[in-house]
Structure 1
Amino acid sequence: MSDSLWGYQPSSGHTAGVDLTGYSVEATDGSIGKVDKYSDEVGSAYLLVDIGVWIFGKDVLLPAGTVKRIDTEDRKVYVDLTKEQVKDSPEFDRHQQTEDPAYHEQLSAYYTAYRIL
């Protein structure tokens, strides 16, 4: 992964400005939902994923560093996480700011445990 969990991996195929909204998100063991919102902001890039398809009404914030590959032709984003790892991630509250530094810290601690170095 990139040095920063909050930046896209150079090998991911990410191109700034490409609208990822609506892309399917694929974990290492299957589909987990769709991109509802995303950010390309340097040092704070993320995907907000609606995983309500298999867990009713839950959204998760995935740091961009968890993105392994983006397939613009098939409109899919592949992440280096299992469905269980995503499901067990810190709860996201839509009323909470996605840029909240304390929340980013909590996510960083959680996802750093799964980093592939």
Structure 2
Amino acid sequence: MTTGRIWSYAPDSGHVEGQDLTGYAVVATDGAIGHVDRQAEPHGMRHLVVDSGVWLFGRSAVVPAGIVAGIDPQARRVSLACTGGEVKAAPRFRIDSETRDPRYLATVGEHYERLVTPRTTTD
């Protein structure tokens, strides 16, 4: 199981350790997709659970911290480095215990790694 950069906030994301993002609006590259329901980091896999509400795709989604492109505390907004469709295409989040399941989170991480790898340079 990988706990690489997809599970860590980028240094230029604006994340501050201990910052509570609950309730912040979540905006993908193509528009708003919901709000942060909660944050978690089991097994070192930091992520947000985003509640999309019924107006977009009617479910919650797990978004790894490495997908966060920016945090604006004044506007209470989290910007993502992917589209709403890419979030929707991630492995479906069904039950709360999945946010603690390392196999499920690894699958989520693999989905998002494929999205960001072409956009970033190799380490």
Please, what TM-score do these two structures have when normalized by structure 1?
0.90
Tell me the CA shift for residue 45 of structure 1: 0.9
**2:35 maps to what in 1?**
34
Give the secondary structure class of the aligned counterpart of 2:56.
Answer: coil
Give the secondary structure class of the aligned counterpart of 1:11.
Answer: coil
Give the secondary structure class of the aligned counterpart of 1:65.
Answer: helix
2:36 aligned partner, one-letter code: V
Counterpart contact for 1:17–1:40, Cα < 8 Å: no
Deviation digits for residues 56-98 of structure 1 (CA, Å, limit 9, x no counterpart): 2x00000000000000000000000101101111101224331
Give the secondary structure class of the aligned counterpart of 2:12.
Answer: helix
Counterpart contact for 2:41–2:47, Cα < 8 Å: yes
Question: Which of 28, 46, 54 in structure 1 is aligned with 2:56?
Answer: 54
1:62 aligned partner, one-letter code: V
1:55 aligned partner, one-letter code: F
What stretches of structure 1 of length at least 5 have no aligned partner? Answer: none
Question: What CA RMSD, in Å, does the superposition of the two structures yield over aligned residues?
Answer: 1.6
Tell whether 2:23 aligns with 1:22: yes
**2:114 maps to what in 1?**
113
Q: Which has the higher helix share?
A: 2
How far apart are the structure 2 equivalents of 1:18 and 1:108? 22
Superposed, 1:84-95 pairs within 5 Å as: 84-95=85-96
Give the secondary structure class of the aligned counterpart of 1:109.
Answer: helix
Structure 1: which 4+ aligned runs deviate by more than 4 Å? none
**1:98 maps to what in 2?**
99
Deviation digits for residues 17-52 of structure 1 (CA, Å, limit 9, x no counterpart): 111000000000100000000136783211000012
How far apart are the structure 1 equivalents of 2:94 and 2:57? 15
How far apart are the structure 2 equivalents of 1:72 and 1:6? 21
Give the secondary structure class of the aligned counterpart of 2:5.
Answer: coil
Tell me the CA shift for residue 99 of structure 1: 2.1
